[in-house]
Amino acid sequence: MPRHRSTKAGSGGRARHAEALAKAGRLQRIRSSQAFRSANARLGRCIIRVFAARLLNFSTVSAYPLALNIISDCWILFAVIWLIAAFWTKRSVYKESKWQRLGYVIPILVGGYLVFKGQRLSDPLNLRVIPHVHAIAWTGVVLCIAGLAFCIWARFTLGRNWSGVVTFKDGHELITRGPYALVRHPIYTGLLTMFVATVIVLGHVAGIIAMPLVFVSVWIKLRHEEKLMLQKFPDQYAAYQQRVKCLIPFIL
């Protein structure tokens, strides 16, 4: 009888210990989620202050330099948000090979170099083919801000499932709400919109040459991602593909 009571007491102790660990895990996830929301709020306030400061200078700065400044701010904010949000991701259980990654990294690096350094390159790459007029400059600004906003919306909707490379996460979820109800790859839609906006405002030949490279890079990467999603969510993702377009709502 004493041995039976000891065994029962030990079993109860293990159960209480497991329950305590589970509770601690839940508390940790809650704290992580609260920290993530707090960081999002701070970033949102920062974005508003930056753009408000730029727009307050509208009367003292000509349209084209101001448009360039706002577009530069968009890219800086994109980089900062992605860097900070990268700390709130799930553990990866599958990751693509380095050789697969090079297939889309090289084109976007070359394309990005042509877009952002095109003005300093030699003829004919630095030739301006899109005129610097107010209407075009502000069209580019609106597109860039819209693309950035769409990227941010998609990134926060994706949450801890996000990764900068093609991976599958522990407890990975198939997200189909928010911007993912409009297109299957909204971050890429927003990113391509930002590139188009930047090319419009800069207006040089190098940027126009860069756009096909950027698109090819995005297309290669999303095809890898879709192949992985079909392996992990065969029925759900196939139905999702039938229901929602890839990059442009109702078109592509």
Do residues 206 and 115 make contact, with C-beta atoms less than 8 angstroms apart? yes
Q: Rounded CA gap, 245 and 252, in Å?
A: 6
pLDDT per residue as tens digits for the range 134-149 = 888 899 999 999 999 9
The pLDDT of residue 49: 59
Residue 87 CB-density burial (10 A; 0-12 exposed, 13-18 middle, 19+ buried): exposed
| Per-residue pLDDT at 22 | 55
Q: What pLDDT is recorded for position 1?
A: 47
Instruction: Provide the pLDDT for residue 8.
Output: 47
**Beta bridge pairs of residue 92:** 169
Tally of residues, the chain: 252
Give the separation between CA 67 and CA 74, rounded to whole angstroms: 11
* This prediction's pTM: 0.76
What are the tokens at 74? 């968009």
Residue 246: pLDDT band with limits 50, 70, 90: very high
Angle at Cα 150 formed by Cα 144 and Cα 154, nearest 5°? 145
Mean model confidence pLDDT for the chain = 82
Please give the share of the chain, as a percent, with pLDDT higher than 70: 75
> Residues 12-54: pLDDT tens digits?
556 565 565 555 555 555 555 555 556 555 655 665 555 555 5
Q: What is the CA radius of gyration of the chain?
A: 24
Which has the higher per-residue pLDDT, 56 or 200? 200
Q: Which residue has the higher pLDDT, 126 or 247?
A: 247
* CATH 3.40.50.300 for the 62-243 domain, yes or no: no
DSSP letters, 216-252, are HHHHHHHHHHHHHHHHHSHHHHHHHHHHS-SSSTTT-
